[in-house]
Structure 1
Amino acid sequence: MTELSEYEIYRETIKRLLVIVGLWPGEAPSFTCRFFICVQLIVLISIILGIVCFLVSNITNVAAVTVASSALTGLLSTFLKFIWMLINRGNVLKLHEMLDPHFMKLLNHRNRPTNLLTSVFFFRRMTWLFAMFMCMSIAIYASSPLVFMLYQYRNHVRPVEYMYMHPAIYPWKVSTASGIGYKLLFICELTPHFSLACVTIGVNALFTLHVFQ
């Protein structure tokens, strides 16, 4: 694969990640995308508030506070990153319009510097490595309650205790008699993580792309 192909794949990957969450500079999100983002933000804020309630209720439990604080820090940092991108969308657009067309023009120049794309392999591999760690984190969060319930089923524990994906306290209770409510809650807790992954990977990669340009 040539260095130019590496760069094109690198840029296209970043664009796809940010288009999903409506943050790609210069491309306004569709109504469906904006609606989806609003729903995701509402669910995410609910999860954050649930974790805060858990922290307050278990403030004397060091182990519980440590686990909850870790989850809260990750969700809050990504949430603030998303809000920052929305607030500073105009500045990001100016930076993108200044760098991206100029760099593309330079790439198409017949006498472009031979070392122009030397570092693209490193930047692309770092982005893929970061994406892999993000996917692993989401998989761990999603599989933990499933493994816990599977353990109960295998050991004939009744009634089965339904474990939340996050250490959180919500204003409603999930019935142990029926798994329908839990399945809905599990989907609601899992869905925002895909958007969070796109935001975290995409925003970080976008600025590494600008640094590279």
Structure 2
Amino acid sequence: MSNRIAKYNLFGRILKRLLLFAGLWPIVNASLFYRLVPYLHVMAELWTTFAILNFCRQHLKNFKLLIKGLGLALSFLTTILKMVCLTFYRDQLIELHTNLEVTFSQDFEDPELRPILLSPLLTYYRPSLVLSVGVCLLFAMYWITPILLIIIQFAHGASVIKYILPFPTSYPWHIGPTNKWLYSGLFIFEMYAGMFLAFMAAAVDSLFAYYIFQITGQLRTLSHRLKNLNANDNYGQVIKECVSRHQILTRCQSHLERIYGPVVLWLSVSNAMVMCAMIWQATHINPKKAIIVGVFIIMKLIQTLFYGWFGSTLTTENEKFRDAIYAADWPGTGKKSLMTSILTMIIYNKPFVLKACSVATISVDMFVAVSNTAVSYYFMLRTLEERRGLA
């Protein structure tokens, strides 16, 4: 139990530090500077996105370079959208965070409920850790590759060194062999932009898992209390507390859907396009160079499954809570007030189904749909390529 408590505290601490750096951690009555921090990051991400799109504009006839640039541009746009959603819905995020922290702490302080509350932790902690480490390693590869290429050029005694930036970008000024300071500044800037993208992918996605964990943990404690409900106990107070808690969790689910709905909808579309682009790119480059592309595809698959799987777990946990209401020993008690209360809970217990802007359900089926779409887009690109070759 102490190990799970330590992991839960570590989970919350890391998320808080990353989101404080981004200016997105829900703080009541935050200072003006803290509220302006996200806009500074967004400007940096936008500048990088424009530089990548400018690169794509210059290589419209080179399909390989065009696809490479568009895939990265979509990733940066995804980060910007995440920041916009968490900033725009800051009030809902604060209410969501505050309510979950208060109700979660109430169950956490109960020694009997604590093991049940923390029982689903590893289901959310481990995937979040894998996704976070994977994304950071992926963008570290983008930073290391240009440095290695420059070292190789020096080792081979090249008379003119070609300075390569981490991302396929094009700026209004030329980076020549004599502009070492300009290159260093742009390299540091792109490192920061890539680092921030990795941090946001890790933090915002993991925050979704963190809130789902807190909701599902509390649904389990509510199920436990109802399964052990005794007609001889103060059942009226227990039912009242369960109804009140479930109403709070319902509002939290609604806030979570509003905040993350646009993000998930965008991801379901953009990830399909990015994976299609990366699959096409991987089939047209040297197998050794395709390693980064392959890792990129895997991370996009994990990210899509990440949201879909956790959306499904929330729905499943609420269904188990509904089953726990039926399983409570109430039909044979003969107490009309108890039976009426239980029946009322059954009627008003609505399913927890997360929707992406009321367009798609956030579930494992979404992962299957995105994967199928990516493959379909890839074969469409192959068809276009073959027709261009015949022409």
Q: TM-score, normalised by structure 2?
A: 0.51
1:144 aligns with 2:152: no
1:128 aligns with 2:126: no
Shift of the 151–208 alpha-carbon distance from structure 1 to 2, 3 Å rule, reads same
Structure 2: how far apart are the matches of 1:97 and 1:148?
49
Contact 2:38 2:83 in 1 (8 A): no
> Secondary structure at 1:170's aligned position in 2?
coil
Contact 2:163 2:177 in 1 (8 A): yes
> Secondary structure at 1:164's aligned position in 2?
coil
Q: Which residue of 2 aligns with 1:19?
A: 20
Structure 1: how far apart are the matches of 2:194 and 2:29?
22
Contact 1:20 1:33 in 2 (8 A): no
Q: Which residue of 2 aligns with 1:205?
A: 206
> Secondary structure at 2:161's aligned position in 1?
coil
RMSD of the TM alignment (CA)?
1.9
Q: Which residue of 2 aligns with 1:88?
A: 89
1:175-197 per-position Cα deviation (integer Å, ceiling 9, x unaligned): 31241110011011111223222
Contact 2:22 2:41 in 1 (8 A): no
Q: Which residue of 1 aligns with 2:184?
A: 183
Structure 2: how far apart are the matches of 1:183 and 1:31?
32
Contact 2:52 2:167 in 1 (8 A): yes
The offset of 1:61, in angstroms, is 0.9
Q: Which residue of 1 aligns with 2:42?
A: 41
Gaps of 5+ in 1: none
Structure 2: how far apart are the matches of 1:110 and 1:180?
60
Shift of the 28–198 alpha-carbon distance from structure 1 to 2, 3 Å rule, reads farther
Q: Which has the larger radius of gyration?
A: 2
Shift of the 35–176 alpha-carbon distance from structure 1 to 2, 3 Å rule, reads farther
Contact 1:22 1:29 in 2 (8 A): no
The offset of 1:151, in angstroms, is 1.8
With a CA cutoff of 8 Å and minimum separation of 6, indicate the structure with the bigger relative contact order.
Answer: 1
Q: Which residue of 1 aligns with 2:276?
A: none
Q: Which residue of 2 aligns with 1:69?
A: 70
The offset of 1:85, in angstroms, is 0.9
The offset of 1:212, in angstroms, is 0.8
The offset of 1:115, in angstroms, is 2.2
Q: TM-score, normalised by structure 1?
A: 0.91
Q: Which moved more, 1:109-118 or 1:54-63?
A: 109-118
Contact 1:22 1:33 in 2 (8 A): yes
Structure 2: how far apart are the matches of 1:86 and 1:34?
8
More helix by share: 2
1:118-162 per-position Cα deviation (integer Å, ceiling 9, x unaligned): 121232121111111111111111012112211211112221111
Structure 2: how far apart are the matches of 1:113 and 1:164?
50
The offset of 1:102, in angstroms, is 0.5
Contact 2:28 2:94 in 1 (8 A): no
1:67-115 per-position Cα deviation (integer Å, ceiling 9, x unaligned): 1112112111111111111111111111112212100111002331632
Alignment size in residue pairs? 213
Contact 2:42 2:83 in 1 (8 A): no
1:3 aligns with 2:4: yes
- Counterpart of 1:82 in structure 2: which amino acid? M
- Counterpart of 2:126 in structure 1: which amino acid? R
Structure 1: how far apart are the matches of 2:205 and 2:45?
20
- Counterpart of 1:92 in structure 2: which amino acid? L
Matched-pair identity in %: 23
Gaps of 5+ in 2: 215-391
Shift of the 198–30 alpha-carbon distance from structure 1 to 2, 3 Å rule, reads farther
Contact 1:20 1:198 in 2 (8 A): no
The offset of 1:29, in angstroms, is 5.5
1:13-35 per-position Cα deviation (integer Å, ceiling 9, x unaligned): 21121111111112566566556
Q: Which residue of 2 aligns with 1:194?
A: 195
Contact 2:52 2:168 in 1 (8 A): yes
> Secondary structure at 1:128's aligned position in 2?
helix
